[in-house]
Amino acid sequence: MESSKKYSVLIVDDEKSDLMLLNRVLSPEYTVFTAKSGTEALSRTERDKPDLILLDIIMPDISGFDVLVQLKEAPATRNIPVIIITGLTSEDDEEKGLFLGAVDYIAKPFKNAIVRARVSTHLQILHHIRTIEHLGLIDPLTDIPNRRSFDDRMAMEWRRAIREKLPISFLMMDVDKFKTYNDTYGHPQGDVLLQTLARIFAGAARRPSDLAARLGGEEFGVLLSNTSAENAKAIAERIRAEVEAMRVPTVDGKTITTATISIGATTCFPADGDNSKDFISKADENLYSAKTNGRNRVVG
């Protein structure tokens, strides 16, 4: 969410002169992509993931209205703001466009400064939305997803596993004797340890459908969708070993500290009616066994 990063705008227009003009108006401030048809607009959106789309209506293949409907249907593109820019100037057309989910409607011939201003307004709104999402979903200490993100994703991946009859795995981890670590090196150093661990867990969640999250104080979870028990345990073991090998210097640079974690792993093929809470409880039970069996180990 770096604010230094340029926003990207996809301009969709079958009229070459409009495309060039809009490109000239927006390219000083934004990364601009262009598409000359509705079909190209959809493939470009998927490929380039623009932050905002300027969409013409009258085009030879599929109309801008149909493009809009398709964009709003797909979860991946639903939230991209779309500004219609068109020669269709009747109020009925404007009503239709706004009703289908466009955030704004500009009639041709357009004034450059007005296009620039409206694009800028909608990108500012987008920026605010992303800031709010970030605050609600990311843990401020470790900068990885929080419990709320985890619960949302768990529900989504659980439904997907049922639908596609795939296994789902979950690793629950807890720092060993973290109280002692805090007592020995101080609470701020304990925070540094949590940040270091978070980076290791996030690095282990390699696929886009994987998620590493901070579930509570010193408890973390890694969700591995479409992952077998065998693979989940191998990943857990790799994480455990990486943490054991980790060397974390103290803030004052005087000492190097180490830590270990215990991991409870679990895997299932969920079916209709199964509850993900029981699945998580199973990982918790396994984590408890890892603790009572000597810590610094994986049970699953």
By CB under 6 A, name the binding residues for ligand GH3. Answer: 141, 174-179, 182, 187, 190-191, 194, 217-218, 291, 295
Whether 218 sits among the annotated catalytic residues: the reply is yes
Shortest Cβ 15–Mg ion spacing (Å): 5
Residue 295: closest CA among 248, 255, 243, 250: 243
Long-range contacts of 289-294 (CB under 8 A, 24+ apart): 289/264, 290/262, 290/263, 290/264, 291/174, 291/176, 291/262
Place of tokens 């010193």: 218
Residue 147 contact partner, candidates ligand GH3, Mg ion, none, CB within 5 to 8 A by sort of partner: none
Pick the closer one to ligand GH3 by CB: 191 or 274. Answer: 191
- Report how far residue 90's alpha carbon sits from residue 268's, in angstroms, rounded to the nearest whole number: 56
Closest of 127, 173, 200, 137 to residue 266, by C-alpha: 173
187 binds, among Mg ion, ligand GH3, none (CB under 5 to 8 A by kind): ligand GH3
DSSP secondary-structure letter at 274? -
Scanning 10-18, 41-49, 90-98, 193-201 for contacts with Mg ion by CB under 5 A, the matching segment is 10-18
Binders in 211-270 for Mg ion, by CB under 5 A: none
* Angle between helical axes of 112-137 and 147-164 (0-180°, round to 10): 90
Q: Which is nearer to Mg ion, 232 or 290 (CB)?
A: 290
- Residue 174 touching Mg ion (CB under 5 A): yes
Residue 243 host element (H or E): helix 229-245
Residue 216 beta carbon to ligand GH3: minimum distance, rounded to whole angstroms: 7
Length of the chain: 300
* Measured distance CA(66)–CA(96) in Å, rounded: 11
157 binds Mg ion (CB under 5 A): no
Nearer to Mg ion, 14 or 274 (CB): 14
Q: Confirm or reject binding of residue 93 to Mg ion (CB under 5 A).
A: no
CB 221 within 8 A of CB 170: yes
* Residue closest to ligand GH3 when measured from CB atoms: 190
Q: Smallest distance, Å, CB 141 to ligand GH3?
A: 6
Catalytic member of 94, 133, 157, 218: 218
58 phi, psi to nearest 5 deg: -85, 110
- Closest approach of Cβ 283 to ligand GH3, in Å? 15
Nearest-approach distance from CB 181 to ligand GH3, in angstroms: 8
**Beta-ladder partners of 266:** 170
58 near Mg ion, judged by CB under 5 A: yes
| Residue 11, both tokens | 């301009």
- The yes or no reply on residue 56 touching Mg ion (CB under 5 A) is yes
Q: What residue ranges bind Mg ion (CB under 5 A)?
A: 14, 56, 58, 174-175, 178
Catalytic residues: 218
